[in-house]
Structure 1
């Protein structure tokens, strides 16, 4: 298996064309890309053919771009890796619709998840890994953002939100390479829209940095749909301070809570299972109700507490966050992770009904929290390293 250090040796110099030896190294590092060679694409948008052909064209366009040459080594590694993996999930999302058209719905979001697992196993630095995954997850957004979204959000909202997820300079560079690295009739029009996306981001002051807000609470309310202006602070009547834990089982959440939040009440699904005499996977509805009732009690009393659960997916976190924020809580999400071997060894030693095979199956739901989800986001790793993601 390739390591992150091995992969960095694959990052091409500016202007260097992709040759057979280089692309062979990509396949060795990410074997799932072999399937891209036989994954078709809609000829209306990809007359060049299969996903692998498109991927190579995209990387060639990226590395010959003048902006790629001006990037730092870390930025080049980030955007290059995102380019190689930006369509990695098309293999698993290809569908033929009723009109006989090839579709790959959700390939960006699924691609971010697939890339996360691969880069985690490689040992990529966590914040750089997530920068790559976020680029993959939103790589098509600059194609359409200037026209607003189907959900009703205008271009300003989309640009502001995206700036909290990615460096928009890198995102626009990836989107431009993605469009130039294909054969389609509307390429010129989409390239114009990408350029307008760049200009709007610059006008908003968020082309290379997150859009500034009056404070973090105003930003959180804005991203959750409140009609507020970024520059004017929203009044916040403080409630409880909640630490929302997030991470795979055996990532070290209990240990972290004992070391960093000692003395605070803890709401835990594991504790709820124990109280109810249930094993993992049994009557999860009753377990959830037990934990939520405990959380509501602390929220009503404005008592600081820890919500200790896996909270792996966006949907799982949203339920807990919605509840906490409805009571006016200030929420910090703390994400813990450890290497695969560490997780499996720890889990095998624990007194738990969760098998290692079940733990690994949970990887396919591993959507790492975003800085737009809570008032603060912190990352902790198995070796004790800590990174606080500050975007306000």
Structure 2
């Protein structure tokens, strides 16, 4: 199993090193890093491959990494190893100035690494811990100078609800130490300040406490509320939002757990309209949304059955639900890669395998703060479904 080869890459003992050639054998995409240039302003050490090895060297020398064992140690190592995996695909070179950039490489990297580790059979909890670090691995550099105008307190608190900040800071610090740049010390100072802030605010190594799930949700979505004071929740519909790749078991979940409830479904809307996959999606979406709005106005409970695969697509649904004061439970469903493609090949669907493959490039697992409650139901290779811890 590929997962066993991946586990073997991580140094298990204090003082042990890593084998870069073995890493490239298990993850062939790493070889492209050796020929991917970087901006000399931020990476005077050279190409992305050189940088990645320097980051791993810095990680192995970190006290936090040395104190870890088992899955947590693997999480840190894989996050550092794969944090810049998508720089080759995102590299841009200005034709006038020659300036090199890799915009969006963190978020795209998290998506690609998710699909890569899923195919390799890496356990859900470990995989998501790695991907969540990769998606935000640069945030501690710039938390005090947010382009979105977010406060460092807000950034630290929301991040603490989806990952361990001590692990994120460990990887971020290794990332900064594994490069040559003029502002290296200034950025290391920013990381240290971010750590101090998280410690003082009660979100270092643990999720920041909130007075209620509704208070946490509204705060995470940008509302001006105090986390320690319960926010009054206006009554609305009880809505279960399903999320997951096609053929991951959403229809089966509805049949088992939602008998008697109304169901909003894009697939049902397409069937009612006689549409195939990818054919006039807007018309089907409009029909489904109209049904949801009618149920929300009546404050009736229902299930929203759709892939909701990317954060952008989920937000369209969640924004609507929260505008109507709905109490939302997100249920994420997942099956192993072989199971998924086998199911899709044998079910009555117009979704082709190649279209399902393309959907993996938009696959973002929901974070714990996206709803009042988020449940992760992950099926094993043996067919057992169990709630995953997140």
What TM-score comes out, normalization by structure 2 length? Answer: 0.96
CA shift, 1:130, in A, is 0.7
1:95 aligned onto 2:83: no
Determine which of 129, 141, 144 is the counterpart of 1:143.
141
- C-alpha change, 1:51 and 1:249, in structure 2 (3 Å) is same
Q: CA contact under 8 A between 2:241 and 2:330: conserved in structure 1?
A: yes
Determine which of 186, 198, 207 is the counterpart of 1:189.
186
Q: CA contact under 8 A between 1:378 and 1:386: conserved in structure 2?
A: no
Q: Deviations over 1:326-360 (max 9, x none)?
A: 11111111111112221121111111111111111
2:258 aligned partner: 261
Residue aligned with 2:45, SS: coil
Structure-to-structure mapping, 1:248-327, within 5 angstroms: 248-327=245-324
Q: Deviations over 1:284-331 (max 9, x none)?
A: 111001100111111111111110001111111001001111111111
CA shift, 1:389, in A, is 4.9
Q: CA contact under 8 A between 2:378 and 2:388: conserved in structure 1?
A: no
2:114 aligned partner: 116
1:6 aligned partner: 5
1:340 aligned partner: 337
- C-alpha change, 1:140 and 1:94, in structure 2 (3 Å) is same
Q: CA contact under 8 A between 2:264 and 2:288: conserved in structure 1?
A: yes
Moved over 3 A (4+): none
CA shift, 1:162, in A, is 1.3
Runs of at least 5 residues in structure 1 that lack an aligned partner in the other structure = none
Across the aligned residues of Structure 1 and Structure 2, the Cα RMSD in angstroms comes to 1.2
1:379 aligned partner: 376
Q: CA contact under 8 A between 1:148 and 1:158: conserved in structure 2?
A: no
Write the distance in 1 (CA, Å) between the matches of 2:38 and 2:14. Answer: 28
Write the distance in 2 (CA, Å) between the matches of 1:23 and 1:209. Answer: 33
CA shift, 1:237, in A, is 1.6
CA shift, 1:144, in A, is 1.1
1:126 aligned partner: 124
1:172 aligned partner: 169
Residue aligned with 2:179, SS: coil
1:30 aligned onto 2:27: yes
Write the distance in 2 (CA, Å) between the matches of 1:350 and 1:26. Answer: 37
CA shift, 1:35, in A, is 0.5
CA shift, 1:372, in A, is 2.0
1:329 aligned onto 2:315: no
Write the distance in 2 (CA, Å) between the matches of 1:99 and 1:235. Answer: 54
1:243 aligned partner: 240
Q: Deviations over 1:145-168 (max 9, x none)?
A: 1x1412111111111111112211
CA shift, 1:5, in A, is 2.2
Q: CA contact under 8 A between 1:241 and 1:305: conserved in structure 2?
A: yes
2:17 aligned partner: 17
Write the distance in 1 (CA, Å) between the matches of 2:284 and 2:139. Answer: 38
Q: CA contact under 8 A between 1:377 and 1:389: conserved in structure 2?
A: no
Residue aligned with 2:161, SS: helix
Q: CA contact under 8 A between 1:14 and 1:68: conserved in structure 2?
A: no
CA shift, 1:388, in A, is 5.3
Aligned length: 385
Q: Deviations over 1:78-116 (max 9, x none)?
A: 011000000001010000124211100000000101110
Q: Deviations over 1:209-239 (max 9, x none)?
A: 1111101100110111110011011100221
Structure-to-structure mapping, 1:207-222, within 5 angstroms: 207-222=204-219
Residue aligned with 2:295, SS: helix
1:365 aligned partner: 362
1:56 aligned onto 2:53: yes
What TM-score comes out, normalization by structure 1 length? Answer: 0.96
Write the distance in 1 (CA, Å) between the matches of 2:24 and 2:332. Answer: 30
